[in-house]
Amino acid sequence: MTATVTALALISAASLHAQAATPPAPAAPRPQSVADTSVFAPLVLPTASDQRAGSGAPGARYWQNRADYTLAATLDTTAKTVRGEMTLRYTNHSPDTLTYIWLQVEQNAFRDKSLNSYIFPQDSRFGARGFEGGYQFSRLEQSLPTAKGAPKKVALTKRVNETMMKVNLAEPLAPGRTATIEAAWSFAVPEHGADRMGRDGALYEIAQWFPRAAVYDDVRGWNIEPYLGQGEFYLDYGDYNVSVTVPAGYIVAATGALQNPRDVLTPTVIARHAIAAKSDTVVRLITAEELASGAARPKKTGMLTWKFAAKNVRDAVWAASPEFQWDASSWKGIMAYGYYRPSAASNWKDAADQSRMSIMEYSERWFMYPWPHISAVEGPISGMEYPMIAMENKSQDVYDLYNVVTHEIGHMWFPMIVGSNERVYMWQDEGFNTFINTFSEGRRYPEKGDQMARAAEERRMVEQYITAAADKPVNMNPDRIDPRLLGEASYVKPSVGLQLLRQEILGPEAFDDAFRTYVKRWAYKHPTPTDFFRTMEDAAGRRLDWFWREWFIENSRFDQSIDTVMVQQAGDTMNVAVRFGNRERGVLPIRARFTFADGSSEDVVYPAEVWSTNSRRYTRTYKFAKKTLVRVELDPDHRLLDIDRRNNSWGSPPTRP
Overall size of the chain counted in residues: 657
Strand, coil or helix: 375 = strand
Q: Please answer whether residues 327 and 358 qualify as being in contact, where contact means their C-beta atoms are separated by less than 8 angstroms.
A: no
Question: CB of 189: closest distance to Zn ion in angstroms?
Answer: 23
To Zn ion, the closest distance from the beta carbon of 647 in angstroms equals 37
Binding to Zn ion (CB under 5 A) within 220-259 occurs at none
Nearer to Zn ion among residue 264 and residue 390 (C-beta): 390
Smallest gap from residue 383 Cβ to Zn ion (A): 7
- In the bound state with Zn ion, the residue whose beta carbon lies nearer, of 430 and 559, is 430
DSSP SS3 for 100: strand
| Closer to Zn ion by Cβ: residue 106 or 429 | 429
Question: Can you tell me the distance from the alpha carbon of 256 to that of 359, in angstroms, rounded to the nearest whole number?
Answer: 16
Q: Is the dihedral of CA 240, 244, 249, 252 positive or negative?
A: negative
Residue 433 or 556: which CB sits closer to Zn ion?
A: 433
Strands 158-161 and 629-634: unpaired
Give the neighbor-by-neighbor strand order of the sheet with 212-213: 158-161, 164-173, 98-104, 212-213
d(CA 499, CA 457): 12
Query: Least Å distance between CB 608 and Zn ion?
Result: 29
- Alpha-carbon distances of 657 from 295, 628, 651, rounded to whole Å: 77, 16, 18
What proportions of the chain, in percent to the nearest 5, are helix, strand and coil? Answer: 30, 30, 40
Q: Among all residues, whose Cβ is closest to Zn ion?
A: 430
Q: How far is the CB of 347 from Zn ion (least distance, A)?
A: 20
Asked if residue 145 lies in contact with residue 202, where contact means CB atoms within 8 angstroms, the answer is: no
What are phi and psi for residue 371, nearest 5 degrees? -110, 165
β-strand pairing of 373-378 with 334-340 = parallel
Q: Which long-range contacts (CB under 8 A, 24 or more apart) does 391-400 make?
A: 391/205, 391/319, 393/344, 394/340, 394/341, 394/343, 394/344, 394/347, 394/348, 395/344, 395/347, 396/347, 397/347, 398/347, 398/350, 399/445, 399/448
What is the footprint of Zn ion within residues 289-318 (CB under 5 A)?
A: none
Q: Minimum CB separation from Zn ion for residue 430, in Å?
A: 5
| Size of interface with Zn ion, in residues (CB under 5 A) | 1
If the CB atoms of residues 430 and 538 are measured against Zn ion, the closer one turns out to be: 430
Query: Residues with Cβ < 8 Å from 570, sequence gap 6 or more?
Result: none
**Smaller CB distance to Zn ion: residue 421 or 556?**
421
The minimum distance between CB 354 and Zn ion, in angstroms, equals: 16
By beta-carbon proximity to Zn ion, the closer residue of 430 and 479 is 430
* Residue with smaller CB distance to Zn ion, 430 or 441: 430
Site for Zn ion in 408-447 (CB under 5 A): 430
CB nearer to Zn ion: pick between 225 and 430: 430
User: How far out from the chain centre does Cα 346 lie?
Assistant: 29
The dihedrals phi and psi of 295, each to the nearest 5 degrees, come to: -70, -15
Is the Cβ of residue 430 or residue 642 nearer to Zn ion in the bound state? 430
Nearer of residues 63 and 414 to Zn ion, judged by Cβ: 414
Q: Which residue lies nearer to Zn ion by CB, 279 or 393?
A: 393
CB of 440 to Zn ion, least distance (A): 13
The H-or-E segment that residue 547 falls in is helix 545-547
Q: How near is the Cβ of 475 to Zn ion at its closest, in Å?
A: 17
| Cβ at position 443, least distance to Zn ion in Å | 19
**In Å, what is the CA distance from 598 to each residue of 116, 332, 337, 465, 566?**
65, 55, 58, 38, 20
Pick from 355, 349, 329: nearest CA to 440: 355
**Rounded to an integer, what distance in angstroms lies between the CA atom of residue 285 and that of residue 272?**
6
**Alpha helices by DSSP H, 294-344:** none
Nearest distance, CB of residue 363 and Zn ion, angstroms: 19
Which of 495, 498, 504 is CA-nearest to residue 640?
A: 504
Closest separation in Å from C-beta 382 to Zn ion: 11
Contact residues for Zn ion, defined by CB under 5 A: 430
